[in-house]
Chains A and B, each alone.
Chain A
Amino acid sequence: MSDKKHLIVVGNGPVGHQFLESIAASGKAGDYHITVIGEEPRHAYDRVHLTAWFETREAASLNMVADGFYEEHQITAIANEKVEGINRADKIISTDKGNTYQYDTLVLATGSFPFVPPVPGHERDNCFVYRTIEDLEAITAASKDAKVGAVIGGGLLGLEAAKAIKDLGLETHVIEFAPRLMAVQVDDGGGALLRKKIEDLGVKVHTQKNTQNIGDGETAKHKLSFADGAELETDILVFSAGIRPQDALARQSELEIGERGGIVINDNCQTSDPDIYAIGECALWGGRIYGLIAPGWDMARAAADHVLGGAEGKTFTGADMSTKLKLMGVDVASIGDAHANTPGAKCYTFIDEQAEVYKKIVVSESGEHLLGAVLVGDAEDYGNLLQFALNKITLPEHPEAMILPNLDGSASVGLGVDALPDTAQICSCNNVSKGDLCAAVQGGATTVGDLKACTKAATTCGGCTALVGQVLNAELTKLGVEVNTDICEHFPYTRQEIYHLVRVGQIKSFEQLLEKHGKGHGCDICKPAAASILASCWNDYILQPEHAGLQDTNDRMLANMQKNGTYSVVPRMAGGEVTPDGLIAVGTVAKKYNLYTKITGGQRIDLFGATLDQLPLIWKELIDAGFETGHAYGKSLRTVKSCVGSTWCRYGVQDSVGAAIDIENRYKGLRSPHKLKMAVSGCTRECAEAQSKDVGVIATEKGWNLYVCGNGGMKPRHADLFASDIDTETLIKYVDRFLMFYVRTADRLQRTSVWLDNLEGGLDYLKKVIIEDSLGIAAELEAEMALVIDNYQCEWKTTIENEERVKQFRSFVNVDGGDKDIVFVQERGQIRPATEEEKARNEDLIAVA
């Protein structure tokens, strides 16, 4: 125990945490007493996605530390304590709380601090920076009494801050010293388009403005005075004029510091004291500070490897600073030598003012290699271009084809992923190489979702998703895995293709479909799939004689078959609301037919043990009592769960029950590739657990937050926030489009969660299609949904009103009566199916009521 070495990490940000994760992953964490000390009140959180805090206003959503991580690896994590001194001679650090800690190895991951230009007045009230959750909380609090907000700095972080201020409902200004936005990453042409797009969003951009004074305003709190004589009044001011390495601790302990700041490190991330490492934005390697997350993580991995003895030989030898991001909904990407500073470099530029797209590539003098690129408005080429640049792949004869739109519909000149070496880094966020992906495919991964799960590729920024998909397909092909996506032997099509054939060909029955596009007699795979598609498209009564034989077990009898051949019955209780009379009616029916009753997870009541011939009788009574079918048997909307909401709850901010009932009644009966579950919560406490549903709605003070593609069940998935603070009309519009798009494009039996994980382009793409209507299909989707809603019928009501249909529920075609083999026993005051043993003993058996 006592010979364990003391390893201390100063700074618990994303990079410090990555270091700890790397140590933990090596399995050698137990060889050390590990302590991490952070000055912020909370442990490591995702600073890269800081702006996402505004979506939930909950710090927990940005947390990077897995539950139990510190305990499992016996790491002591200290928050709210600032390390103030290093005694290198005795290897002791001291803190502002008066504590001292002994170290053998020290890692400085102190990050950076925002640079605030020394303009007179910069220390006034309501002047902020944008780095921590506390900064965001302060900005939010100040915004309540503010009308105007301004950001000084038009770089990447400044635009993030501007988005936050805009989302807080303030008139927003961005003030930039340089002649264009994002001056480092983007050239004049790209900057001009970026500016236009951001101004179209209602943000006012002021370039070439040198702020000289901040004083009292007349119409707002502050007045900014610029060198050119112009003025601007604002209530809130956020400084985002760049970062400076947080190297104070290192300076004070006389470690080597760069001329313009930064703790000098070698390739192992060691400082001038070999027992002290520095990683992330506080470190200076090769005269350069790396202000991006990926290089910070690379340093963390290299330092961890070296601390552990260098078994893997990882070093940090600089990093590519290419970036792709979305700023206020605008795609921006920059690769390598974006400004064509390399001698002899030549540029190709493509500008489409109609679609607002700017693309430029920079190639070497010989035209052989790609040196850099700038993309604004459409960054889809980023992955391909980056691979060309990083791996020095020889460019095609006409490199301009890589950024020109392919008008004739031919495949774009992309990079065959085969051209990439195994070492090519595909996912830079998580350091996943092409070789790693190929190994995972060889190990059995067959979908993008599998690869995400086992390699973490494409799980951080998602920029590489398309490329990951290409590597997957190429590798599967190489392995001789014929990627057969046919639904079954009877149709050489995917579910999605069959859907289109049905919709476009106006096909109304399985016979027509088989005759036109299939062969054989069909089977239990294609028949239910076709039945579901026919219902999604035309919403006919599913027990029409020509449809009945297609239906899956449960749809066939409009009830859920249980293990002994009996059925369970679930009447709809929209939103989980039921009257006392309704409850009594359900109870009366259950008692009369001696059914086992249970409350479901979806806030309604399930009645078990009904025989085939009892089903119409039971439903007759339920319908007379005012109930309708709950579609518990269908691949369709099950329930919309709700909490009690603002009508009763003292915390509720909207009528969640009312909304849940409206939503359930709107989408009931919609047939889909798999079952659908939804929920509405009346406030952020989320008692309805909406974030585990396919569609989740959470009330806010301004309207609703919409979440999509969550799942509980077998493979839980937290839903993604899709739209914030929208009104009810917009909510319904988005859900209409979302559901129909899912119905159109998902595979058979694919829940929305898996569908999204495998959707190329992921959540961003989905938002584009649904919110921005990028495919121009929104009106169609809404019309298709309207048709389904118009044609809704309670299938049980239709059934019991038709004698011929009721006959289909007889147990026997030739005699009356029920199946004598069905017997029950009593348990906890109700029936349950008898086991084979109990049947053989033939004691205390209960026959069907």
Chain B
Amino acid sequence: MSWTTICSLSDINPNAGVCALLGEEQVAIFKVNGQIYAIGNKDPFSNANVLSRGIVGSLNDTLAVASPLYKQHFNLETGICLEDETVSVPCYQVRTEGDLIQIAI
């Protein structure tokens, strides 16, 4: 496992997300109250690469992003869909090094 630098903290608006391309893989990276989370960008319900553009928030204290297409919620820490636990997206390890955001691959 190695850490790859993606971008700096200031590249992400507060409480919002961006998308990073790692090889062929698209990763949605979110910054919520200064904490960083990373899950797959592909919305399994629409097969479109859009999760990074969803609204983040909390539902019963679970941090989640809402798909911008059909509004299902995905747990930012596990990638599991809150509406249907049999559906999930990949989940990535992330860390910050100073101002830099890094992902484990």
Chain A residues within 8 Å of B, Cβ to Cβ:
489-490, 520-524, 526-528, 545-546, 548-553, 556-557, 561, 563-565, 612, 807-808, 811-815, 817, 819, 821, 836
Contact of B68 among A546, A553, A813, A821 (CB under 8 A): A553
Asked if B59 is at the interface (CB within 8 A of a chain A CB), the reply is yes
- Do A545 and B14 touch across chains, with their CB atoms under 8 A apart? yes
Assuming the A-B contacts A521-B58, A812-B21, are A545 and B13 also in contact, with contact meaning beta carbons closer than 8 angstroms in the complex? yes
Q: How far is the CB of A757 from chain B (nearest CB, A)?
A: 26
Assuming the A-B contacts A520-B61, A524-B66, A561-B69, are A548 and B55 also in contact, with contact meaning beta carbons closer than 8 angstroms in the complex? no
Residues of B near A811 (CB, < 8 A) are 19, 21
Residues of A near B7 (CB, < 8 A) are 813-814
- Do B48 and A564 touch across chains, with their CB atoms under 8 A apart? yes
Assuming the A-B contacts A489-B60, A521-B63, are A549 and B14 also in contact, with contact meaning beta carbons closer than 8 angstroms in the complex? yes
Residues of A near B59 (CB, < 8 A) are 489, 523
Closest B residue, CB atoms, query A839: B47
Asked if B94 is at the interface (CB within 8 A of a chain A CB), the reply is no
Q: How far is the CA of A808 from the CA of B48 in the complex (A)?
A: 19
The contact size tier of chain B is 35 or more
- Do A814 and B55 touch across chains, with their CB atoms under 8 A apart? no
Q: How far is the CA of A831 from the CA of B76 in the complex (A)?
A: 35
Interface centre among B16, B42, B71 (most CB of A within 10 A): B16
Q: How far is the CA of A527 from the CA of B49 in the complex (A)?
A: 22
9 A–B contacts, CB within 8 A, in A order: A490-B57, A521-B63, A523-B55, A527-B57, A545-B14, A563-B46, A564-B48, A817-B21, A819-B49
- Do B60 and A815 touch across chains, with their CB atoms under 8 A apart? no
- Do B56 and A549 touch across chains, with their CB atoms under 8 A apart? yes
Contact of B13 among A521, A612, A808 (CB under 8 A): A808
- Do B55 and A524 touch across chains, with their CB atoms under 8 A apart? yes
Closest A residue, CB atoms, query B16: A549
- Do B33 and A565 touch across chains, with their CB atoms under 8 A apart? no
Q: How far is the CA of A546 from the CA of B18 in the complex (A)?
A: 15
Within 8 A of A (CB), among B19-66: 19-21, 26, 29, 32-33, 42, 46-50, 53-61, 63-64, 66
Assuming the A-B contacts A523-B58, A813-B18, are A565 and B66 also in contact, with contact meaning beta carbons closer than 8 angstroms in the complex? no
Closest A residue, CB atoms, query B50: A565
- Do B29 and A813 touch across chains, with their CB atoms under 8 A apart? yes
Residues of B near A836 (CB, < 8 A) are 47
Within 8 A of A (CB), among B56-86: 56-61, 63-64, 66, 68-69, 71, 73
Q: How far is the CA of A813 from the CA of B26 in the complex (A)?
A: 11
Q: How far is the CB of A223 from chain B (nearest CB, A)?
A: 75
Interface centre among A489, A546, A563, A812 (most CB of B within 10 A): A812
Q: How far is the CA of A549 from the CA of B68 in the complex (A)?
A: 12
Q: How far is the CB of B59 from chain A (nearest CB, A)?
A: 6
- Do B63 and A556 touch across chains, with their CB atoms under 8 A apart? no
Closest B residue, CB atoms, query A546: B14
- Do A549 and B11 touch across chains, with their CB atoms under 8 A apart? no
- Do A814 and B69 touch across chains, with their CB atoms under 8 A apart? no
Assuming the A-B contacts A521-B32, A521-B63, A811-B19, are A527 and B55 also in contact, with contact meaning beta carbons closer than 8 angstroms in the complex? yes
- Do A550 and B55 touch across chains, with their CB atoms under 8 A apart? yes
- Do A520 and B57 touch across chains, with their CB atoms under 8 A apart? yes
Q: A527-B55, A546-B14, A612-B53 provided; 6 other pairs, C-beta below 8 A?
A: A490-B57, A524-B66, A528-B55, A549-B55, A561-B50, A564-B48
- Do B57 and A548 touch across chains, with their CB atoms under 8 A apart? no
Q: How far is the CA of A531 from the CA of B67 in the complex (A)?
A: 18
Q: How far is the CA of A127 from the CA of B6 in the complex (A)?
A: 89
Residues of A near B96 (CB, < 8 A) are none
Q: How far is the CB of B75 from chain A (nearest CB, A)?
A: 13
- Do B69 and A821 touch across chains, with their CB atoms under 8 A apart? no
Residues of B near A489 (CB, < 8 A) are 59-60
- Do B50 and A812 touch across chains, with their CB atoms under 8 A apart? no
Q: How far is the CB of B24 from chain A (nearest CB, A)?
A: 8
State the 4 A-B residue pairs at the shortest beta-carbon distance, nearest first: A549-B16, A565-B48, A523-B57, A553-B68
Closest B residue, CB atoms, query A612: B53
Residues of A near B53 (CB, < 8 A) are 553, 556-557, 561, 612
Asked if B93 is at the interface (CB within 8 A of a chain A CB), the reply is no
Residues of A near B21 (CB, < 8 A) are 811-812, 814-815, 817
Interface centre among A523, A546, A814 (most CB of B within 10 A): A814
Interface centre among A545, A553, A807, A815 (most CB of B within 10 A): A553
Contact of A814 among B6, B56, B73 (CB under 8 A): B6
Residues of B near A522 (CB, < 8 A) are 15, 57-58
Q: How far is the CA of A520 from the CA of B15 in the complex (A)?
A: 13
Closest B residue, CB atoms, query A548: B13
Q: How far is the CA of A807 from the CA of B11 in the complex (A)?
A: 9
- Do B15 and A549 touch across chains, with their CB atoms under 8 A apart? yes
Assuming the A-B contacts A557-B53, A565-B48, are A819 and B60 also in contact, with contact meaning beta carbons closer than 8 angstroms in the complex? no
Q: How far is the CA of A549 from the CA of B55 in the complex (A)?
A: 6
Closest A residue, CB atoms, query B101: A813
Contact of B26 among A524, A561, A612, A819 (CB under 8 A): A819
Q: How far is the CB of B22 from chain A (nearest CB, A)?
A: 8
- Do A563 and B58 touch across chains, with their CB atoms under 8 A apart? no
- Do A521 and B66 touch across chains, with their CB atoms under 8 A apart? no
Closest A residue, CB atoms, query B51: A565
Residues of B near A565 (CB, < 8 A) are 46, 48-50, 69
Closest A residue, CB atoms, query B68: A553
- Do A813 and B19 touch across chains, with their CB atoms under 8 A apart? yes
Interface centre among B18, B42, B64 (most CB of A within 10 A): B18
Residues of B near A552 (CB, < 8 A) are 55
Closest B residue, CB atoms, query A550: B55
